[in-house]
Amino acid sequence: MLVGALVIIIFSLLAYGLLALTTSLASRLTAWEAAYRGLRLPRPVVQRALHFHSAHYLPVALLTFLTIWGHQVLIAKYPNIDQLAVGYLYLLCAEVILAAGYLFSTYWTGMRNLMYANG
């Protein structure tokens, strides 16, 4: 029981650190790209926009959680349903593609609105 809680804590801290690193890198690259185009978009402004954008990760995480949880329920109820494995993988791949498109579109919309509002 204690080992499971420790693994969750370590995983959470690792995930938080990687997300903070990714957000920092994204804000630097976005501010650099804006400066290259001649737009005034300082890094703290971009950082604030990315924090607002992070709320869009929740629907993606919820959909993925429900897919995985639903498949685990099906496996627990019907242990010999091997024919669903390929469909499950295709569903997860489709979710990854759709989630990437959704997150990119929300990011792009937010950054475009931020550039026009800050110019």
The 10s digit of each residue's pLDDT in 5-35 is 899 899 999 999 998 899 889 889 888 887 8
Indicate the residue type of 39: L
| Confidence band, pLDDT 50/70/90 cuts, at residue 97 | very high
- Going from N- to C-terminal start, the domains of the chain cover 2-118
- Can you give the pLDDT at residue 117? 62
The whole-number average pLDDT for the span 70-83 is 86
Burial of 76 (0-12, 13-18, 19+ CB in 10 A): exposed
**How far is residue 40's CA from residue 45's CA, in Å, rounded to a whole number?**
10
With a pLDDT cut of 70, the percent of the chain lying above it is: 95
pLDDT at residue 116 is higher than 70: no
pLDDT at residue 36 is higher than 70: yes
